[in-house]
Structure 1
């Protein structure tokens, strides 16, 4: 990755995770110290903790001059695991194995390949969004392509769970108050909490547009029905495109 370190406003791709943690969980003391804890998939975590630390170092060295350049880079990386090229080379991806003799490392790649082919559990289930981004957007070869796709898939699954919950809260707040001020604040906070490489894939005008359309406006009795509000909130993640607007 090309570093652009001279710009004080350069944006890091993601933060550095200090330990393996499952989303919404504190983790055991051994896991948090990088010891051989066992995650939801039943695999030991020491090797993965080390790999994530190395991935974080690589990500930190890739600094981008602005949001636009980071977004373009992110989209190119995402296309490697979701685009036509991924499916055109599916057989090669399914046959890929890590350059490692570590049985846990080899097992994880096998489990990831099984998962992306519709068999078994995701080996990255429950990991945090920062950790998932470190895997999904790392093109160094440290992770197999199918591992990257499995990590991306888990991030999408977590996003869908969040979207369903925020949609329910939006309808509840609207029914109680005729507004969705609290919910829109939560939406914005959530978006801003995502790894920078994920934030950068949203059109630059998205936050302002969301505030303008929903923020703090009393819509009781207006033309915007609750159903359309729910639809907009459910579709908000679809604002990500394969083109980064300025």
Structure 2
């Protein structure tokens, strides 16, 4: 765990570049594979990973011709997705990652096919946990049962009305939405009508777990969440303009 967290901290200031193949099978899309110059960023919450995942070192493999150490991350509780990360042995940053369903079916994967001779310096601000957001959320949606290990990590207004809360167990990301309308049924989406509106939960969990999280929600009163919108808006972690880059 210490070695893996050290590599993820290193990735906040150093990033490999080259040719990356990105395959996303969940949620389904018409063109599941595309090319990129860098690994798509995953908002790792380093304080949550040790609480919710066990880590094992699974040997060494070459990625894009470079030796890497393979780490397997398995949820300690619940049915969250499993992850595999390949960490460059010299640069100590990820060169590939994979998200899998509990039955080991691939959900998404990103891996370098070719890598440049040297990584570049970046400033990827680490995500933070807004203090007090969890109790405020549970008060706003009484009866909500957050999946095992999952914490609210951000909140924003939706253009079509309602709020969207980002949830995380340290690696996996979920969306909890309050909205005036429902959403079409699909794998990875639970929707429940509450009063005059709807609550959705979207993420890589078995349908039964998504449905159970919302099954007892009996009210939606989001007035107490308004103070957290300012906190989220002031956090530039997901703003591309805030992620400065320089060459070594």
Please tell me the TM-score bracket, short chain as reference.
Answer: under 0.3
* Structure in which a larger fraction of residues adopt strand: 2
The structure, 1 or 2, with the larger RCO (C-alpha pairs under 8 Å, 6+ apart) is 1
TM-score, length of structure 2 as denominator length: 0.25
* Structure in which a larger fraction of residues adopt helix: 1
Larger radius of gyration: 1
TM-score, length of structure 1 as denominator length: 0.25
